[in-house]
């Protein structure tokens, strides 16, 4: 028999260890946090294990920034990934955070932050203000945006009176509500639309009743809703074009230097002219039902440098 006194000693030791050790660990992380200059993305912010499938929509509910890893499945594009995992608003976040111009290959490991915005790798040392001024959200948000970035990334709030510390090269920051120009975006400010018809080389045409390739995606939205460019570019066509009705075509140069054209058909009105350079936030037209169309929707099309239609989902 073990004497009672020894059992008590053992239990007390255990309690002391349970209380004191975490306390010292706490002190350690506190002293780490008090260093004045951001030194790099904190590894403890990362959820490094792949999450089981149902958890993808749970990470958005966490009250702090985490970055999940996700392995792309065969035949999966960013749009279907977002639909299936319940991250419907995250298409731009995922594309921008991973510098994706096109659908990644199956097996690619994506970083998915649980906030809307982008991960950003700092290439050259610069102050946080310089860094965020490269983004519309940063320019509009000013000093409070700077504070948000520091808080979200778990950096101590800096003394703004003193000399401005620089963010080191190699640091990864999360920038809320900001995006890098990557890939092509759905031509609306939000995701409130229905895809009524996808890219289909062998579709039976709903009006003409014959087999005719559907070269784009039909996005149903109310009549008159604003349409924006999929990415900044130059207008190459704006006017009436047969079955397209009122149509705009825009030429884009992607990150890798490739050229893509986007087309916006059945517009109620056109607000740009050929040769005009349009930024991603420029209102170019309004949803309509002109040309061969059964109701208000946008026919959205993506073509390569040779004018061959591609499935828009490969770039969205
Ligand atoms: Zn269509």
* Cα 300 to averaged position of ligand 1 atoms, centre (Å): 7
Contact 261, 206 (CB under 8 A): no
* Cα 226 to averaged position of ligand 1 atoms, centre (Å): 18
Least Cα distance to 164 among 13, 37, 18, 23 occurs for: 37
* Cα 190 to averaged position of ligand 1 atoms, centre (Å): 20
Helix/strand/coil for 142: helix
What is the residue-level pLDDT of the chain in tens, covering all 316 positions?
A: 556 677 676 666 655 555 544 444 443 343 344 444 455 555 555 555 555 555 777 888 888 898 988 999 988 888 888 888 888 889 889 999 999 888 889 999 999 999 999 999 998 888 888 889 989 888 898 888 988 888 888 876 555 555 667 888 888 999 999 988 888 888 998 888 899 988 987 766 666 666 678 899 999 999 999 999 999 999 999 999 999 999 999 999 988 788 999 999 999 999 999 999 999 889 999 999 999 988 999 999 999 999 999 988 888 7
User: Domains, the chain, ranges and CATH?
Assistant: 39-182 (no CATH), 194-314 (2.70.70.10)
Q: What are phi and psi of 96, to 5 degrees?
A: -70, -40
For ligand 1, an ion, list residues with CB under 5 A: 218, 299
* Cα 217 to averaged position of ligand 1 atoms, centre (Å): 6
Total residue length of the chain: 316
Sign of the dihedral defined by the CA atoms of residues 225, 230, 232, 235, in that order: negative
* Cα 212 to averaged position of ligand 1 atoms, centre (Å): 11
Q: Count helices and strands (H / E) in the chain.
A: 5, 17
CA-to-CA distance for 114 and 68, rounded, in angstroms? 8
Burial of 136 (0-12, 13-18, 19+ CB in 10 A): middle
* Cα 266 to averaged position of ligand 1 atoms, centre (Å): 9
């Amino acid at each position: 028999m073990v004497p009672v006194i020894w059992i008590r000693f053992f239990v007390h030791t255990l309690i002391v260890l349970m209380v004191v050790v975490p306390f010292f660990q706490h002190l350690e992380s506190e002293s780490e946090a008090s260093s004045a200059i951001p030194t790099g993305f904190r590894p403890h912010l990362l959820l490094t294990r792949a999450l089981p499938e149902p958890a993808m929509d749970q990470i958005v509910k966490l009250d702090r920034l985490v970055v999940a890893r996700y392995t792309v499945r065969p035949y999966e594009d960013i749009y279907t990934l977002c639909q299936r995992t319940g991250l419907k608003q995250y298409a731009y976040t995922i594309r921008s955070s991973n510098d994706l111009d096109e659908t990644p290959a199956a097996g690619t490991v994506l970083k998915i932050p649980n906030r809307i915005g982008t991960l950003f790798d700092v290439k050259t040392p610069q102050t946080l203000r310089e860094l965020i001024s490269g983004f519309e959200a940063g320019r509009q948000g000013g000093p409070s945006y700077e504070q948000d970035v520091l808080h979200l990334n778990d950096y101590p709030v800096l003394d703004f009176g003193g000399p401005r510390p620089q963010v080191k090269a190699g640091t990864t920051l999360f920038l809320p509500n900001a995006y890098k120009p990557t890939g092509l975006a759905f031509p609306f400010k939000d995701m409130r639309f229905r895809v009524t018809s996808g890219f289909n080389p062998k579709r039976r045409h709903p009006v003409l009743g014959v087999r005719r390739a559907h070269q784009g995606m039909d996005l149903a939205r109310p009549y008159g809703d604003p349409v924006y460019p999929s990415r900044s570019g130059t207008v190459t066509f704006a006017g009436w074009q047969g079955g397209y009705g009122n149509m705009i075509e825009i030429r884009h140069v992607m990150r890798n230097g490739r050229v893509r054209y986007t087309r916006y058909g059945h517009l109620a009105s056109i607000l740009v002219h050929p040769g005009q350079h349009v930024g991603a936030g420029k209102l170019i037209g309004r949803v309509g039902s002109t040309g061969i169309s059964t109701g208000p929707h946008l026919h959205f099309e993506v073509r390569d440098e040779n004018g061959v239609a591609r499935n828009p989902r490969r770039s969205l």
